[in-house]
Structures are given as C-alpha cells and as structure tokens.
Chain A
Amino acid sequence: MQSKKTKTLEPQTETKLAELQQTRERRTVLMQGNEAVAYGALDAGVNFFAGYPITPSTEIAEILSVELPKRNGVFVQMEDEIASICAITGASLAGAKSLTATSGPGFSLMQEGIGYAKITETPCVVVNVQRMGPSTGMPTSPAQGDIMQSKWGSHGDSPAIVLYPDSVKESYELTIRAVNLSEKYRTCVILLLDEVLGHMREAVCLPDLANVRVISRIKPTVPPHWYKHYDENQKYLSPLASYGEGYRFHVTGLTHDSHGFPTNKSTEAFEMMERLRKKISYNIRDLVQIESHKMEDATIAIFAAGIVSRAAKAAIVMARAEGIKVGLLRPLTIWPFPDDAVRKMLRNVETVIVPELNQGQFIGEIQRLTKDKSESNVISLQRCDGTLFTPNDILRKIKEVS
C-alpha cells in the first residue's frame, strides 16, 4: 500500500531490493514448488497479490496472505479469477509489482484480462499450476494441457512470454525471472507449473537476497507533456509512469496510438501490433532459455519441459548405461519457442522424441521446424490420463527407436 508520503522507488532499471525487504534467514530448506513461487515473488519485489482459491495453486495465495502484510504489501482475495487479473493490472498501473496464481479453470477465466494486460503493456505475472483438464478435469492430477492456451488463450494476436520450471528451486528462480521480464517488457508473463511440482517438496538453498537480481520498470524522466505511454523509440522497451505521478495518461483496451488514445487508423493499428510483436521477436536472445543435457554426442534427442524432463533425464541415464547416445533439450522459456535451438537439435540428431502430458502440443512446434528432415524422425509420446511418465516409459521409447 502506498501512502502519499511514501517515497516511490527511484527511477531505476536494475536494483537490489535487499534493504527494502525483510531479511530472511538463508539456508537450505525443504519446500514445495508453490512455496518457492510465493517466496520467489516476494524476493522479486511483488507487493500486490489478488487471487481466488483453486487447487493445486492455493498455497501460493495462502503464503502470500501471511507474508505480504508483514512487508506492507497488499493481499486480496477477489470474487473470482476475472476480478483477480483485473485487480493486479489496475494495481500495476498504480505502480505495484503484481502477481496472481491459479489453475486451469481460473486460467481460462483470466484470458480476456491477460489480453488486456498485453495490449495495454502493463507488467504483471500469472502463475498457472496446471491440472488435468478439460473443464474441472482432475484437480489434483498433473497434465501439460495448457501449453497452447498460454500462448493462444486470449483472442487476437498477442505474443507471449511463458516460463516453465522443472524443479522447486527453478520454480523460485523462474518466478523472479517472470516478474523481472514482466517489468522489463511491460507485459503479462505466464509461469506454468506442473501440478506435481506445485506440491512436491525438495531441498532448496535460497540465495542471499543481495544476490537476487531484481529488475523494475523504467520510469519516465521527461516532463508530463512529453510523456508517451507507449514510446516506440527505445528498442520497444518503453518507460512506464504510474497513476498519481503527474502524468495523467490514458489506458484502453481499444487499439491505440503511442499516447494510448484509441485509433481507427490502419497505420496506427499496424504500428501498435508491430510493437507488440517486435518487443518479443527482437529480444529472443534475452527471452529464450534452454537446458541442453548430454546433447554433445547424442543421436537421439528428447524434447521435454517441466516434470516430464525429469523422467527423461532418468531414462537417459539408463539408456546410456546400455550404450545408447541420447540427450535432452529442455526449454525453460516455452514461448517464444526456442526455434534456433530446436533447429540445431534437428540438424544434429537422427531422432527426436517428444514426450508430453497432453494429446500433442509441443509436437506440432517441432514438426513446424522439421523442414529438411523426414517427419518419421520426430516421434510423439503422449499421455493424458492424469498420471506421469515413468523413466521406463521413456526408456522403452528410446530403445524402440534406437
């Protein structure tokens, strides 16, 4: 909560918020993925959370309801997920670093609001701890059914930034990264977790707060009458004023010009759409993160994200013990898709196996990039019954194709 007298943060791009936050004893702790997300959010400077309870994400809200008031931050339980995404967007425009957490049904409800945050270029983070769908589905069972929804869920073209951790520790790290990227790129960033990751406990050594890299939105330095809410000059990364700072800007979900006023001119509409597209596509190298595991000599590659990659890693150990050269390519950023890394993988291996907990979502992206290779070398492995792949499931496939 900001009182009028509260000093707002100095205009800054990167700072360490160490002094501003409570010091927490740093040690190796046993924690859940959901806990890691909550503490990652706090360490990234999130000071506003609005949400609605839903399994398997609820612990994130519960922890933040304990921790945010201690830090003068706002926690509010809204009447539904639609209100939650709206509230975090409103708070962000007032200057907050904001986040919400949900799962499939709530994520579906949020889609219109996610599109609004994107077109208005308002920083915020939506955590989706995925559960088995469609509809109410299996609330406590894992699935990776929201990979495409996290990119295409809201109507219209709106390029997405979506991160996907594979461990509790990485859930902490990618939550911080999600908040940082939302501030830097002024957009709604989505963090996808697997149900089992949200509830799984692992030992995590949290870094010293002084070592946590925190990025905050760039503040305008121009006088108010020069301020453009969408300033296209700065590499598509534009300064953002907050309500109450004298800038009196207009925000609308209508297609708008660079001042934020609605427009029907096709030139201005084109300009806005291009800015939304380019701020992602011109910054692919900053956005994409991949893990390449035992790929140096691999003839078979597995492409998998999140929890599935862990079964894949275990399968790789077993396969390599039998002399099969297999590696793993794991995207930590799933959108924008790591096209270059996948192309390189396709060039260097004979076969790619794509295991995923859905009826085939990543596989289409891999096939899209399979220009010169015959498609039979890209093999889909699907599971959609609320259970996980075991390492043996993947090993069997490896042996089948080797």
Chain B
Amino acid sequence: MATIPQKIVHQYLRHDKKFPHVWCAGCSNGIVLGAIIRAIAEMDINRDDIVMVSGIGCSSRMPVYIDLNTLHTLHGRSIAYATGVKLYKPYMKVIVITGDGDCTAIGGNHLIHAARRNIDLTVILINNNIYGMTGGQASPTTPHMAIATTAPYGNIEPDFNVCNLAMGAGASFVARTTAYHVQEMQKYFIEAINHPGFSLVEVESACPVIYGRLNKKGGAPEMMKSMRDNTIPLAAYEKLPKEKTEGKTIRGILRQEVRQEYCAAYQDLIKRVNVKEGK
C-alpha cells in the first residue's frame, strides 16, 4: 500500500477501500467532505463515537469514503435511521448527509418531525438544486423556471426555502452557507455538531455536470463565483437597502436557540417513571 499522505483529510479517509470516488470533476461534494473532516478533527471527537448516516443520491455517497461508523440507507430515510441510532446511543454524535431531493422531497416528513422533536442530529443538506444521481430531474429546491430533465420547459413549481422549512418545523439550529465559503462551512459544522438539539446546515453546492449544463451556468469555477457573488452574510443583508439584496441568498446562522432535546426528554421520562415505580 502506498504511504498515506499526512494531511488531516487523508487521515480520515478509507484509502484502501473505496477510491476513486464516484463524483464528477468539479462537484462540490468533495469540498463538503473535506470541511466535515476538518471540523471533526478540530473538535477532536473520538471517531468511534461518530455515526455518519446518509440516504441515496450523489451527496449521500459520502459516508463510504470516511473512516467513521457509517450507514448508507434508503432514499429519503436517513433521518429516520439516524433517529434509531441516536435514541439508543444518545452519547454518540450522529451526522446526517443528505441531498435536496433526499431530504425535502421523499424525506420531507422525517425532516419536519425530527426538527419538531428537536432530537440531537446534525443534518448537512447539500443543496445542488437538482436530482444529481438520477441525471437531472427537478427537485423541490429547483428554482422557478430552471430547466431539469423532467422540467424541459422550465420548472413551474415554486421552490422550498429549506432553512425556513426547518425553522418552521422547530429546528433549534439552522445555518446556510455555500461550497465556496469553506471556512465558514467548517465553522458552522462545528457549531451544529456542538449544538444540543436538531441542527441543519444547508450547503449550497455546485453540480456543474448536470444542473450547470442544463441551465447554462458555466463550469465549476463559474458556479463557484456565482455562490460568492450572489450570497450575502446575514449581518450585511440586514443593513443593505432592498435593491442590493434583491435575488441574493442569505448566508449565516439563522437560528441558534436551546430548547429541550428529545433524548434528554426521554431520559427524564425514564427517571420520572422509575421514581413512581419506587426504583
């Protein structure tokens, strides 16, 4: 076996197992993977205590590459599997990797109920605005009038604001960033993993090969530039006049509040019951 390069990222990859990876050149998924690993390394969590769970999609292929406890589940169901793991072993850190279709279409029900319960999962939603793995069909976050292989005349459906959806359902930590803002992304991951409750970080990402091509967005560099130019940090957004924020996306921690976490509430229930039973 070749010697393993000593960058932090390399220490966490399953080198001898599943490389080369499945992602296209220019895809943002690898950037997110790098940021997650650096966040975990910086937090110095024992990797035996982390479970990474995903659904189905390009983004959801991520866990196989990382040397953690990993669980690649069914399309849309990652949060439900993660709920089972977390409830049985609440001391473990459970990170969910999911795509926009995985999390908000087929998995939308699990998303809102996990957010409502405020169970301590960290959901990292990689939003490329399209179904990448199946070749470019419209997802609930495909922008209005964008082209998809199942919306060849332009998408007539309005799209989800995923962060608002999560907040509306009760998520106690919600943040949005992009694959261009790597350090910010890493910081939000750390905040989210540390947050004692349901957290969701939406990462806008580039799928140059499918979304970019269908919508004439250029290649990966152009899409990266667009993420840089068309997003505004929350603090700045609030100060800017309306004409300057028109059509731009807010980045930042949109909610961070502490309320009763579900596993803790269940622990309390066990205590209450056992006091009543005289144990």
Q: Which residues of A contact B (CB under 8 A)?
A: 1-4, 48, 50, 69-70, 72, 74, 76, 78-80, 82-84, 86-96, 98, 112-113, 116, 243-254, 259, 261-262
Q: Is the Cβ of B83 less than 8 Å from the Cβ of A83?
A: yes
Which of A80, A113, A243 is the one whose CB lies under 8 Å from B69? A243
B residues 11-63 touching A (CB-CB < 8 Å)? 14, 17-18, 47-49, 51, 53, 63
Q: Within 8 Å CB of A86, what residues of B?
A: 73-74, 77, 80-81, 83-84
On chain B, the residues within 8 Å of A48 by CB distance are 84, 87-88
**Residues of A contacting B163 in the complex (Cβ-Cβ under 8 angstroms):** none
Tell me if A112 and B74 are in contact (CB < 8 A): yes
**Which residues on B are within 8 Å of A, measured CB to CB?**
14, 17-18, 47-49, 51, 53, 63-64, 67-74, 77, 80-85, 87-92, 109-110, 113, 263, 266-267, 269-270, 273-274, 277, 279
Top-8 shortest CB links A-B = A90-B84, A86-B80, A87-B84, A90-B81, A91-B84, A83-B80, A252-B72, A79-B113
Taking CB as reference atom, which chain B residue is nearest A124? Answer: B84
> A252 to B64, Cβ gap below 8 A?
yes
In contact, A262 and B18 (Cβ under 8 angstroms): yes
In the bound complex, CA of A262 to CA of B92 (Å): 25
Point out the residues of chain A lying under 8 angstroms from B88, CB to CB. Answer: 1-2, 48, 74, 90-91, 94-96
A-side contacts of B18, CB under 8 Å:
261-262
Whether A250 lies near B84 (C-beta < 8 A) is: no
**Most chain B beta carbons < 10 A, residue from A2, A82, A250:** A250
Q: How far is the CA of A108 from the CA of B163 in the complex (A)?
A: 32
Complex contact B64–A262 (CB within 8 A): yes
With both chains docked as a complex, state the minimum distance between the C-beta of A218 and any C-beta of chain B, in angstroms: 19
Q: Could you tell me if A50 and B113 are in contact, using CB atoms closer than 8 angstroms?
A: no
Smallest CB-CB separation from A76: which chain B residue?
A: B87
Give Cα A72 to B68, complex, Å. Answer: 27
A-B contact pairs, 7 of them (CB 8 A): A2-B88, A70-B277, A91-B85, A116-B73, A243-B71, A261-B17, A261-B64
- B73 engages A74 (CB within 8 Å): no
Q: How far is the CA of A48 from the CA of B82 in the complex (A)?
A: 14
Docked-complex contact A1 and B82, CB < 8 angstroms: no
Residues of A within 8 A of B113 (CB): 78-79, 83
Most buried by B among A86, A96, A113: A86
Q: Is the CB of A69 within 8 A of B69?
A: no
Contacts of B47 in A (CB 8 A): 248
The answer to whether B48 touches A245 (Cβ under 8 A) is yes
Quick check: B110 and A83 within 8 Å, CB to CB? yes
A3 touches B84 (CB 8 A): no
A243: chain B residues at CB < 8 Å are 51, 69, 71, 85, 89, 92
Residues A253 and B74 in contact, CB atoms below 8 Å apart = yes
Residues of B with C-beta under 8 A to A84: 80
Closest-CB distance, B102 to chain A (whole angstroms): 13
> Bound complex: CA of A4 vs CA of B64, how far in Å?
25
B70 touches A250 (CB 8 A): yes
Q: How far is the CB of B220 from chain A (nearest CB, A)?
A: 26
The answer to whether A2 touches B89, judged by C-beta atoms less than 8 angstroms apart, is yes
Which of A48, A95, A249, A252 lies at the interface centre, i.e. has the most chain B CB atoms within 10 A of its CB?
A252
A50 contact set on B, CB distance < 8 A: 83-84
Q: Is the CB of A250 within 8 A of B266?
A: no
Q: Which A residue sits closest to B110, measured CB to CB?
A: A83
- Which of A74, A80, A244 has the most CB atoms of chain B within a 10 A radius of its CB? A244
Neighbouring A residues of B53 by C-beta, 8 Å: 90
Can you add 8 more A-B contacts, CB < 8 Å, to A86-B80, A87-B83?
A79-B113, A83-B80, A90-B81, A92-B84, A243-B51, A243-B71, A251-B72, A262-B72
Is A249 touching B263 in the complex (CB atoms < 8 A)?
no
- Does A91 contact B74, Cβ atoms closer than 8 Å? no
Please report the C-alpha to C-alpha distance between residue A74 and residue B265 in the assembled complex, in whole angstroms. 12
**Residue on A nearest B272 in the bound complex, by CB:** A69
Whether A1 and B69, one on each chain, are in contact in the complex, defined by CB atoms closer than 8 angstroms, is no
Cα of A224 to Cα of B69 in the assembled complex, Å: 12
Residues on A with C-beta less than 8 A from B91 are 2-4, 244
* Given A70-B274, A116-B73, A261-B18, CB of A90 within 8 Å of CB of B82: yes
CB distance from B13 to the nearest CB of A (A): 13
Beta-carbon contact of A3 and B81 below 8 Å: no
Question: Which chain A residue shows the least CB distance to B56?
Answer: A253
**B80 & A90 in contact (Cβ 8 Å cutoff):** yes
Q: What residue in chain B is nearest A73 (Cβ atoms)?
A: B270
A93 & B85 in contact (Cβ 8 Å cutoff)? yes
Q: A1 is contacted by which of B74, B77, B87 (Cβ under 8 Å)? A: B87
Q: Which residue of B lies closest to A112 (CB)?
A: B74
Q: Which B residue sits closest to A74, measured CB to CB?
A: B87
Q: Are B273 and A79 in contact (CB under 8 A)?
A: no
A258 to chain B, nearest CB (A): 13
A248 touches B84 (CB 8 A): no
Q: Are B89 and A95 in contact (CB under 8 A)?
A: yes
Nearest B residue to A251 via CB reads: B71
Please name all residues of chain A whose beta carbon is closer than 8 Å to the beta carbon of B69 when the two chains form the complex.
243-244, 247-249
Closest to A78 in B: B80
In the complex, what residue of chain B is closest to A263 when comparing beta carbons? B18
Q: CA–CA, A96 to B47, complex, Å? A: 21
Of B70, B72, B84, the contact of A98 (CB 8 Å cutoff) = B84
Q: A70-B273, A246-B48 are in contact. Are A90 and B90 (CB under 8 A)?
A: no
Q: For residue A245, which residues in chain B have a CB less than 8 angstroms away from its CB?
A: 48
**The residue from A2, A88, A90 contacting B71, defined by CB atoms under 8 A apart:** A90
Contacts of A112 in B (CB 8 A): 74
